[in-house]
Structure 1
Amino acid sequence: MPSSERSYVGRFFSSQFASLPYPSHSFSGQVIIVTGANTGLGLEAARHFVRLGAAKVILGVRNEEKGKSAQESISSSTQKRDKTEVWLLNMESQKSVKEFAEKASRLERLDAFVANAGVCTNHFELVEGIEKSIAVNVLYTFLLVFLLLPTLRKTALDCQVRPRVVIVSSEGHETTSFSESKSDPIFAVLNDKSKSNMDERYDTSKLLQIYGVRELATQLDNSDKPAITVNACTPGLCRTSLLREAPAVSKIILGAVKLVVARSAEVGSRILVHAAETHDDTHGQYLRDCKVTP
């Protein structure tokens, strides 16, 4: 095994057993959007935000029934009613993304956006002419971020706060060879089944997220608009349903690994909550185990 791979594997296992602080930061009065919030990391992060005093947590979900179930789960566990709203969001649809952002523009404030919705599959499928992993994890995720910027900036001005954008990524971005990067234009190759490396597609999409966060941070820094913090984080390997579209072999292998080292969704969600706190030093950065990581 090459030294770089040994380093990654060692870091991965060390990280999985790291102790993560239980969230205690106050989100009193804040309005927060969490996508992919009907289950797993998104649900547990939303639960923490409500517990920590958020005025409103918007659950961005694809299925309304599952969203209502998540809403009831949060209300029951926190004993706080009327703190969540369920908004429909299909991350495979540009129209749905735009409608969601337009609805968000009518909010009185928006303090944080946690982009947690994502897909993991090695099956090539086009949605609206774009390979699904790239559409959901990258292009439409950042489209939603861009469309929410005016609302976030208005909050910064009106409430004298620094809003946050959190992109939920993965340490898998370190492992991809990103062979498509050798082609030009890159996205044309990513959308070409015959030229796509789907075995690495999820990790490649996560690498593109990291690139996107760094570039967006630079653009925000060069703007004369109100300051917004944007960062990326990895929750590590968690016991969630993310692999529901993964191939059978991957499910078996990772299922065995999960039995030994995986975090619960609640523990993994602590990293999302930490990234959404007001830490200016996380701007443009990547977080692992609630710490900025190179």
Structure 2
Amino acid sequence: MIQLPLRRFRDKFFPEQLPPPDSFDGQTILITGATAGLGLAAAKQFASLGAAEIIITARNKSKGELAKKRIEEASKYGGKGKGDKKVTVEVLELDMNRYDSCVRFVEELKEKMRKKEGKGTIECVVLNAGVINPTFVESSEGWEQTIQVNTLSTTLLALLLLPWMKEMQTDHKTPSPPHLIFVTSRDHLDPDISMWAEWARTGSGILQHLSSEENFPSGIMPNYDISKLLLTYVVREICKQALGSDGRPQVIINPVCPGLVQTDLGRAISQQSLFMRIYLPLWLRTWGKPAEYGARSYVAACLTERDDYGKFLVSLYTDQEYSQMAIPNLESETAREVQGLVWAEIMGELTTKVPVLRNSMFKFGGDGQEDF
């Protein structure tokens, strides 16, 4: 589609506008994977727009502390918010390769917020952490790492955080619901799902098939599009759980695509060959937008209203174009079946390996499917 590169080029030079100063005045923002790239750029923007506290995650504490200093500088000199307000930046450790790290992180976060004086709430959570691997890497949990980080661990964080966010909204009677943002991609439109239901019926399951080294696809970003489609299925299911008894969302959930961005997320790709070391940076500089511009999509997502609940936020397509393009993977009869199968497999995996989920707001049957 010729429109895609043209719109990428447009987004590079005509970015989304930042909201008015102090749009996040006094708010607490959580961003996973914010030591570099889009996550760091977003944290700096939230800081310059008046956020009182920003919580970031890092696998490496020293990298987290360096990012903290850069965010604090953005608050001081950013010029969009109140420069006399010093932002508080907290760094919490999180390794998305391991479920126990995700659980410890959420427990530490909850304890920290309980100890806060006054309003111990989080207004926005941005699940940004992700990976791109050109070669097969197995996670600590036994899954291909792209699927582990981008889908399974991101899902786990959402399932652990959502009930708590709903409670905060109820207990503190906040005027507007908090936001839970999933960083996805327009690439979820690309996978061919025609065989997925068959893998569930006759094989070891969809996730096992996609995660096996034997079936690891070729290409520069293998499994990335698949991981984002799996996550999109998850988001559509989790959206159902964010509603209150009145049918209105207690937490506003949106998946967002930041577009093609000049970050080091694909650094492993550039290390594959001399050609890729030359080609990838050139391609990104030509078509990709700066991280600062891509991060504005996160900022905008944290300002959506209830009417936009569940909407996929993307600048590359109109709503009508996306609706048509999403039919094969999201709205067709096959897609609806696959979504249910994927959700059941993910819930089976997580409730088996993460017992704490059984005590959450989600009720599951013995096969990992929901009992609502």
TM-score by length of 2: 0.71
Cα 1:198/1:90, change in 2 over 3 Å: farther
Deviations along 1:212-254, one digit per CA (max 9) or x if unpaired, are 2122113333766961111111111111111022244555433
1:109-258 alignment, distance < 5 Å: 109-127=121-139, 128-157=141-170, 158-160=172-174, 161-178=176-193, 181=196, 182-184=198-200, 185-199=205-219, 200-221=222-243, 227-246=250-269, 247-248=272-273, 252-258=278-284
Quote the residue 2:106 is aligned against. Answer: 101
- Kindly provide the amino acid, as one letter, of the partner of residue 184 in structure 2: S
C-alpha distance in structure 1 between counterparts of 2:88 and 2:167, whole Å = 22
C-alpha distance in structure 2 between counterparts of 1:40 and 1:187, whole Å = 29
Deviations along 1:262-292, one digit per CA (max 9) or x if unpaired, are 1111111000111112422331111113998
C-alpha distance in structure 2 between counterparts of 1:16 and 1:207, whole Å = 25
Residue 29 (structure 2) aligned to one of 24, 28, 32 = 32
Q: Structure 1 stretches of 5 or more lacking a match?
A: none
C-alpha distance in structure 2 between counterparts of 1:258 and 1:53, whole Å = 31
- Kindly provide the amino acid, as one letter, of the partner of residue 122 in structure 2: L
- Kindly provide the amino acid, as one letter, of the partner of residue 178 in structure 2: P
Quote the residue 1:286 is aligned against. Answer: 312
Quote the residue 2:351 is aligned against. Answer: none
C-alpha distance in structure 1 between counterparts of 2:23 and 2:210, whole Å = 42
TM-superposed deviation, 1:26: 1.3
Contact residue 101 and residue 148 of structure 1 kept, 8 A? yes
Cα 1:9/1:230, change in 2 over 3 Å: same
- Give the structure with higher Rg (CA): 2
Contact residue 44 and residue 266 of structure 1 kept, 8 A? yes
Cα 1:289/1:9, change in 2 over 3 Å: closer
Bigger proportion of residues as strand: 1
Contact residue 45 and residue 266 of structure 1 kept, 8 A? yes
Deviations along 1:107-158, one digit per CA (max 9) or x if unpaired, are 1212111011000012112111111011100010010011111321122111
C-alpha distance in structure 1 between counterparts of 2:278 and 2:243, whole Å = 44
Quote the residue 1:60 is aligned against. Answer: 57
C-alpha distance in structure 1 between counterparts of 2:86 and 2:318, whole Å = 34
Contact residue 16 and residue 263 of structure 1 kept, 8 A? yes
Aligned residues: 290
Quote the residue 2:39 is aligned against. Answer: 42
Contact residue 20 and residue 267 of structure 1 kept, 8 A? yes
Cα 1:251/1:137, change in 2 over 3 Å: farther
TM-superposed deviation, 1:20: 1.1
SS at match of 1:23: coil
C-alpha distance in structure 2 between counterparts of 1:49 and 1:241, whole Å = 21
Contact residue 52 and residue 86 of structure 2 kept, 8 A? no
Q: Structure 2 stretches of 5 or more lacking a match?
A: 77-84, 114-119, 323-372
